[in-house]
Amino acid sequence: MTDKYLTLVNAEHPIFRPIDRRELVCVSEDYPDILMERRAAAALRRLLSEIGSDGEIVPVSGWRSNEEQKQIWADTVAEKGVSFARKYVALPACSEHETGLAIDLALKAPEIDFICPDFPQTGICGKFRERAPYYGFIQRYSMEKEGITGISEEPWHFRYVGTPHSLIMVKNGLSLEEYTDRMRKGGRRTLTYRGRMIGKSEAVR
């Protein structure tokens, strides 16, 4: 498990080594303060371009420093309570946002909730979700996997794992926890994806 794009980060697996900030780039010229790891950011831009987002989908939160995650945790606890924070905010050093490989997205609106942005299942957001695996992204937290991930469903939170991993995970209905566990146990013999990348998706393999 040496692929950095498959790095598992959760309450049981805190970040071992912070990302080199030289690897961070802005996801869009319109949002210069929202950063991601270089390859993940490029894949996101290609995906948004392919589906013709035209600014309908906006980035809300990308890379966060450990200090920022601490502040978000503290602010959420103070405003909404510990129970809510545990559902939707990872503890410092246990957040995927600190890897630079996660992005929270929202449907463009005059006001956007930073913690729980609106990202519907339909329309342009549904189109993004459908094409995301072909560009290396998965919706990281789903309702059916809450018992495994420890995080409530977050339709807005996407994690870059790269292809073909994203396609295999979606095809087999696996969370990142389950996928990396099977990989460690020799699962790559049975976890395969025989489909063909389509169009621009091939450029981000």
Q: Give catalytic residue positions.
A: 154
Nearest to 202 by CA among 147, 144, 134, 109: 134
Measured CA to CA, the distance from residue 164 to residue 18 in angstroms comes to 25
- The secondary structure of residue 24, as a DSSP letter, is E
Give the SS3 label for residue 81.
coil
Measured CA to CA, the distance from residue 80 to residue 37 in angstroms comes to 30
Measured CA to CA, the distance from residue 106 to residue 109 in angstroms comes to 8
Q: What share of the chain is helix, strand, coil (3-state, %, to 5)?
A: 45, 20, 40
- Token pair, residue 160, equals 């870059």
- Token pair, residue 83, equals 């129970």
Measured CA to CA, the distance from residue 43 to residue 185 in angstroms comes to 29
Contact criterion met (CB below 8 Å) for 178 and 154:
no
